Chains A and B, each alone.
Chain A
Amino acid sequence: MHSVLSAAGVEAQSIQSHWWLMFWVTLVVTLVVLGGLGLAVARGLRAGAIGRSDRGLVTGISLAIAVTVVILFGLLIDSVITSRVLASQRAPGALEIEIMAQQWWWSVEYQHPEPEQRVRTANELHIPVGRPVSIKLLANDVIHSFWVPALNGKLDAIPGHESTLWIRAEHPGVYRGQCAEYCGAQHAHMAIVVVAESPEEFEKWIQAQRQTAHQPASDPERRGLQLVQQSACVMCHTIRGTAAGGRMGPDLTHLASRSTIGAGILPRTPDHLEEWIRDPQRIKPGNRMPALALPDRDRAAIVAYLEQLR
């Protein structure tokens, strides 16, 4: 679900109504003006002698301008009204999220007065239906833009600036978005997924996210954890409850609760995870994750471990 015209959030719905008004008004104007042109051409093709007085024509033009001005003011008013509606969605008691945009993924942190209650994840966020959500956008490298069309317009994430986007989902669903400001080689593959669910489902999800990493149950999984902790993975990734504490790449603590990897480039399946770890550059050339030389057996163990990080 990723269309401006399938609005599922309060803000997007307001914009969608505004769109339809503008669409119909401009369609009618276009047809009237082009119709006038058509009539003019037809008359011009038939014309014999040319009439000399332009006064009537100038009056006609002035009338058309007057109508134009009225229409423009009407559209302007609707625009301002829509902006006001959007601004009025800011409300106290909102769910606060902070997103740090970077090349080429989204670091998501759910805010909370108590630091231990904060949840950090990546590229996918869950929100409760019906509750306002304020998303503070930051960037630590270049300009990116957060855009989930079914929920709201976009807002740029600019280094050195903070800006806040408000969304409020009206219907449960999975809403996809993409970075909308050209940010380098893999701008095309910087998707964001927003899962809107009932408040109860959301509470369950966030409680689960607050837990430290699921403990491995089988031998391959244990071996996978061991390998992760011994290899370069820990330099960039965090898996809370293990020795992996790097912050340069996405938090993997609950990787298996997410639907995609590589900021939306592939669905998260064991096969795709395996492909990705084997050679991330082949899938997303230029991204920041290097390939790790590993025997196939080791890689399979790591995948097994990661796959159980629900």
Chain B
Amino acid sequence: MSATIVAREITADHIAAEQQQLARTWAQPRGLIGFLSDVDPKRIGMRFIVTALVFFALGGVLAGLMRIQLAVPENHFLGPDLYNQVFTMHGTTMMFLFAVPVMEGLGLYFTPLMVGARTMALPRLAAFGYWMFLAGGIFLYVSFFLNIGPDNGWFSYVPLAGPEFAPGKRADTWAQLITFTEVASLVGAIVTIVTVFKFRRPGMTLDRLPVFVWAQLVTSFMIIFAMPAVMVASTALILDRLVGTHFFNQAQGGDPILFQHLFWFFGHPEVYLIFLPAQGLMSTLIQAFSSRPVVGYVGLVVALVATAFMAFGLWVHHMFAVGLPAIGTSFFTAASMMIAIPSGIQIFSWIATIWSGRVRLEPPMLFALGYFVIFILGGMTGLMVASVPLDLQVHDTYFVVAHLHYVLIGGAVFPLFGALYYWFPKFTGRMPGRGLGVASFWLLFAGFNLTFFPMHVLGLHGMPRRVYTYLPDMGWNTLNLAASSGAVLMALAVIVMIVNVIQSLRSGAVAPDNPWHASTLEWATSSPPPPYNFYPEPVIDSRDPLWNDPADLPIVIGVRADRREVLITRLLDAQPDHRYHSPDPSIWPFVTALTTTAMLIGSIFTPWAVVWGSIPPAIALIAWFWPRPSMLNDETHPPENARPELSAATGPP
């Protein structure tokens, strides 16, 4: 029982008929229940992206409030309590509700497309992940408006966040938000890995994967090994606060530093969870707008993998001021500097690509170029804070605030906006407006530098982080005012982008399949793609199929169109392996998320919520997995019918 090359008469009518059948089978479910049951990765990915962008805007508003308060010394716009909540909400929103989910959303949307698959693996799990993300974000903001939002910073150190110094529920909301977002990330990671390993179209061997897919794959592995650390840290914090454990209580043998180790073991890889997909986006944009494949594909992939491994060996550089033994900290200085090498490989490879390509300065390319300026500056200050003695001066000052925004905004937000512009035609079927795109780039670039460059100087001149105000005779007034003005430009940039989106949706030119003449598979189908992604599906013969594949490659046939079926291929050589009935839409992921949310929210008030509150999600999960008649595999029902296939199904790989 294997796949064979045959010769077939395949007419345009055959293709149209198959497409119609596929459209019916993979159609979007209707109505409210349909909306809640949807398992399409494009729609779930888009939900992640749009929701994350809403949180980006909210986080930006919070930042605006902070900059208003700090524009002048001894300001009374926000009192200390509110300011402390606002800076905590800003950091928590940006790191947990925007940066990671938006990359996850792009991954869910484009990974199946870029590997030539009809859908993603485990679609109901992905749907569940989205609802958990949404629930967590709503929970956080409702808590904020009810005055029980967190106020101890986005990494919530103990003992300040412990039971003795943070009475009430504020620190619990932070800790539980972590649970929501970490579940959403973990499921996204599993879905991505399985999709990339098993759903690739025949012929797409691993060395033909687009760099963006490699980035998502490597990021997913990082998520699996990093997220548990913050899970343990936040769980231990909740336990200390709720049931009286002593993980972090030094009076009973616990240690506040344990929290820092656990948190930063996650926290450092976390920033690479944000960068690596963005570096994948950079490769995508530079390739497309230099009209040539990226130079040094192998080096770029190795750089991603090397970064992922090294990222797990840097966490102590967030703890240089704790007083740990010097020989230990010097190792982390070395590692933190050496991680610049894979970044260097990527930057030099991209410059080489631009040098030897045919460049078009469309807005996505402008954003990509913006990355170089801003991320490189951030990387330079990164080398500075990697050095223990220098870090001991600038740690916990505005110098670090400058550094982190340079690397995060330069390294992730600029490529993100470039990529959203680039993929706008694919998402919506309309071309984005060029003029407003260029304007938004320059506004963001200028506004960003005006806001954050002065902060380097502020930190060197003694201004610590997380201060709600400052004295007028410290010499910090002008620079703070400059930073606050820059924030206005950044806000304008976002407004221009929103206007551009609305205008383009209404009256942008209709987008063809491949308006940018790019090379990856998402451009080999309509804009937007049909629900089944592709038909016909030629096998893959090169790394840049739309540029290099011949026109008459064999197309895949024999995957059923009367049910949601996908072709599963082998991990190493992408040869066809078996056919698989992909799960139909289902309400149970939503119900599981809803019941789990109730349990998690309840458990910040009483530990019994974990016991009793786990029953509804358990029931929902059983309903989720209980076999349905519509999902019954008619080819192997009853199971005796499967006997002829058994040796093929259990045979060697």
Contacts and interface: CB of A to CB of B under 8 A. Distances in A.
A63 to B, nearest CB: 9
Nearest to A23: B384
B157 interface: yes
Interface in A108-155: 141-143, 145, 147, 149, 152-155
Interface string B342-357: 0011011101101111
A39 B160 contact: no
B256 A2 contact: no
Contacts of B361: 41, 45
Given A15-B389, A154-B395, A37 B344 contact: no
A64 interface: yes
A69 B341 contact: yes
A4 B394 contact: yes
A29 B389 CA distance: 21
A48 B291 CA distance: 11
A261 B489 CA distance: 39
A14 B153 contact: no
Contacts of B394: 4
B461 interface: yes
A60 B376 CA distance: 19
A153 B389 contact: yes
A44 B359 contact: yes
A68 B344 contact: yes
Interface stretch (A178-186, A193-201, A242-250, A291-299): A178-186
A3 B296 contact: no
Given A45-B359, A82-B389, A177 B462 contact: yes
Interface string B377-415: 100110110111111111111000000000000000000
Given A40-B354, A60-B352, A155-B323, A72 B464 contact: no
Given A50-B356, A76-B334, A37 B351 contact: yes
Interface in A27-77: 27, 29-30, 33-34, 36-37, 39-41, 43-45, 47-48, 50-51, 54, 57-58, 60-61, 64-65, 68-69, 72, 75-76
A43 to B, nearest CB: 6
B10 interface: no
A160 B344 contact: no
Contacts of B309: none
Nearest to A42: B359
Given A47-B357, A79-B389, A179-B464, A72 B323 contact: no
B614 interface: no
B387 A159 contact: no
A26 B348 contact: no
B435 interface: no
A285 interface: yes
Contacts, number: 247
A2 B461 contact: yes
Interface string B301-340: 0000000000000000000011100100010011001101
A33 B80 contact: no
Contact of B390 (A18, A29, A188): A18
How many B residues are at the interface, by size bracket?
Answer: 35 or more
B474 interface: yes
A156 B460 contact: no
Nearest to A3: B461
Contacts of A51: 356
B470 interface: yes
Nearest to B461: A3
B605 to A, nearest CB: 24
B81 interface: yes
Given A30-B380, A177-B462, A178-B462, A185 B392 contact: no
Contacts of B467: 178, 187-188
A158 B259 CA distance: 12
Contacts of A3: 460-462
B406 to A, nearest CB: 12
Contacts of B393: 4, 12, 15, 19, 149, 153-154
Interface string B449-481: 000000000011110111111110010000000
A34 B376 contact: yes
A163 B387 contact: no
Nearest to A19: B390
A4 to B, nearest CB: 5
Contact of A160 (B255, B359, B387, B466): B255
Given A141-B165, A182-B466, A154 B392 contact: yes
Contacts of B460: 3-5, 149
Interface string B95-125: 0000000000000000000000000000000
A283 to B, nearest CB: 11
Contacts of B134: none
A176 interface: yes
Nearest to B380: A26
B369 interface: yes
Contact of A158 (B323, B354, B388): B323
B295 interface: yes
Given A37-B369, A43-B355, A183-B160, A158 B341 contact: no
Main secondary structure of the interface of B (DSSP, over half): helix
Interface string B275-308: 0000000000000001110011001000000000
A302 interface: no
A47 B460 CA distance: 44
B321 to A, nearest CB: 5
A22 interface: yes
B257 interface: yes
Q: Which of B256, B380, B389, B467 gathers the greatest number of chain A CB atoms within 10 Å? A: B389
Contacts of B321: 145, 153-156, 180-181
A44 B392 contact: no
A49 B540 CA distance: 26
B337 A76 contact: yes
B359 A143 contact: no
A64 B350 CA distance: 13
Given A153-B389, A176-B462, A182 B357 contact: no
B388 to A, nearest CB: 6
Contacts of A141: 159, 164-165
B380 A163 contact: no
Contacts of A80: 330, 333
A161 B390 contact: no
B300 to A, nearest CB: 10
A289 to B, nearest CB: 15
B352 A61 contact: yes
A48 B292 CA distance: 12
A259 interface: no
A25 B464 CA distance: 26
A161 B325 CA distance: 13
A47 to B, nearest CB: 5
B355 A186 contact: no
B79 interface: yes
A286 interface: yes
A149 B395 CA distance: 11
17 contacts: A3-B460, A19-B390, A30-B377, A36-B351, A39-B355, A40-B352, A50-B291, A54-B296, A57-B296, A58-B299, A76-B387, A143-B159, A143-B256, A154-B321, A154-B393, A182-B465, A188-B80
7 nearest A-B pairs in the assembled complex, by CB-CB distance: A153-B392, A160-B250, A44-B359, A163-B323, A188-B467, A2-B462, A26-B380
Interface of A: 2-5, 12, 14-15, 18-19, 22-23, 26-27, 29-30, 33-34, 36-37, 39-41, 43-45, 47-48, 50-51, 54, 57-58, 60-61, 64-65, 68-69, 72, 75-76, 78-80, 82-83, 86-87, 141-143, 145, 147, 149, 152-156, 158-161, 163, 176-188, 264-265, 285-286
Interface of B: 79-81, 84, 152-153, 157, 159-160, 164-165, 250-251, 255-257, 290-292, 295-296, 299, 321-323, 326, 330, 333-334, 337-338, 340-341, 344-345, 347-349, 351-352, 354-359, 361, 369, 372-373, 376-377, 380-381, 383-384, 386-397, 459-462, 464-471, 474
